[in-house]
A = this chain, B = another copy of it.
């Protein structure tokens, strides 16, 4: 044990990782705890879910990223609770003392009190989520190929994506492409292009945080890919073979075996643990309400950053749950810690909005850069360029670029493997005679 300041960071996502790397020159003993051994480039997770990229293309081992940073160690462990009086993080198998704590544990999907929907409508937050969605989508086509009952075939070829945010839009676009292009000539009894992809959004337009013109452009691009975009459609129930929606006064049932969830997120359970221990406040989505310097009230030694933090000081509304916010917060916290060591204080955190982008299928995207709005192919080139700039650590940029180029030219999605358990079609015995 030395007299060095002990900084513990929980979570190796965009926030936690950028806090760690920004602390590389600080005289401190830094421990980054994550329960996964890799950092995940979540914005491209939908590409894994739809077979265009492999998990390793968008994941980088945390130890590898930080191997040359001598003041930092990576700890693969699960945090269970906090002992604020003793300044210790409680693991399943030990305790870690800290002088400064940075919680960046992120969010999971959220079913608005309907947790029973999860098994029918998986969300997309982890590598395992992505390979599970990939499995379901591919097996749906396989099962339709084996089925004889026209009603069942229709249900297997109907894909419902719930939530018109970036994840839902990107998933729906990729599904439209799989059905219309990737799987062409792959089957003998069904036409994959007859599949229906339905994107459900509860408000009156998709990509609600974007400017209206870009929402409209995104909807157009999706329609071109064969996606049916339905706005003002509130999901009231999900069963393994159907989704019930309310549109105005009407109730409607959509028959579908494959339903994907991109609608809501909720803070990690660690947020509640910490808030309870520190007497801090949670918002309705389970995010911790932070002070302007991202600390907790009466706990200047505890920072919360990234998707798990609710910071309303700048605009009156919480900052959006995007990588840019988390990265800037990670860097800010590192600067605060360094300033404190030098006896200085910094002004509150200020988010510099560099714009937002969402991609729709093979060659269309919308980009909102404040006054400048881009869409279509130009938006897509910008999206590609910026994502390539960021994806440094994740294998070589060149490799991902070539993989994208390859799948762009061939419209192929080579990573469409059905892996794990339950790898066979789910056809019913009586319907299985058609071959």
Nearest CB in chain B: distance from A80 CB, A: 12
**Contact mask A351-372 → B, CB, 8 Å, 1/0?**
0000000000000000000000
Partner of A186, one of B35, B57, B63, B185: B63
A92 to B415, CA, bound (A): 27
Number of interface residues of A (CB under 8 A): 65
**Contact mask A56-73 → B, CB, 8 Å, 1/0?**
110111011001100001
Stretch from A107-115, A222-230, A420-428 contacting the other chain = A420-428
B61 and A417 contacting across the interface, CB-CB below 8 Å: yes
Tell me whether A36 is interfacial, beta carbon within 8 Å.
yes
Tell me whether A378 is interfacial, beta carbon within 8 Å.
no
Tell me whether A77 is interfacial, beta carbon within 8 Å.
yes
B57 and A417 contacting across the interface, CB-CB below 8 Å: no
Copies per assembly? 2
A73 and B188 contacting across the interface, CB-CB below 8 Å: yes
Inter-chain contacts of A56 with B (CB < 8 A): 54, 414-415, 417
Nearest CB in chain B: distance from A264 CB, A: 25
B424 and A94 contacting across the interface, CB-CB below 8 Å: no
A435 and B395 contacting across the interface, CB-CB below 8 Å: no
Tell me whether A382 is interfacial, beta carbon within 8 Å.
no
**Contact mask A3-44 → B, CB, 8 Å, 1/0?**
000000000000000000000000000010001111000000
Inter-chain contacts of A38 with B (CB < 8 A): 417-418
Nearest CB in chain B: distance from A245 CB, A: 32
Tell me whether A142 is interfacial, beta carbon within 8 Å.
yes
A77 and B425 contacting across the interface, CB-CB below 8 Å: yes
Tell me whether A432 is interfacial, beta carbon within 8 Å.
yes
Tell me whether A336 is interfacial, beta carbon within 8 Å.
no
Inter-chain contacts of A396 with B (CB < 8 A): 402, 406
A406 and B395 contacting across the interface, CB-CB below 8 Å: yes
A414 and B435 contacting across the interface, CB-CB below 8 Å: no
Which residues, 390 to 435 on A, are CB-close (under 8 Å) to B?
A: 394-396, 398-399, 402-403, 406, 412, 414-420, 423-425, 427-429, 432-433, 435
A433 to B95, CA, bound (A): 7
Tell me whether A75 is interfacial, beta carbon within 8 Å.
yes
A selection of 18 A-B contacts at a CB cut-off of 8 Å is A37-B142, A37-B423, A38-B417, A60-B414, A61-B186, A63-B183, A63-B187, A67-B184, A76-B142, A77-B425, A91-B432, A92-B424, A94-B433, A395-B403, A395-B406, A395-B414, A396-B402, A399-B403
Q: A37-B418, A55-B415, A76-B142 are in contact. List 14 more A-B contacts (CB 8 A).
A: A31-B435, A63-B183, A64-B412, A73-B188, A76-B145, A76-B425, A77-B424, A77-B425, A93-B425, A93-B427, A96-B435, A131-B419, A395-B415, A398-B406
**A-side interface residues toward B, CB under 8 Å?**
31, 35-38, 54-57, 59-61, 63-64, 67-68, 73, 75-78, 91-96, 127-128, 131, 138, 142, 145-146, 183-188, 394-396, 398-399, 402-403, 406, 412, 414-420, 423-425, 427-429, 432-433, 435
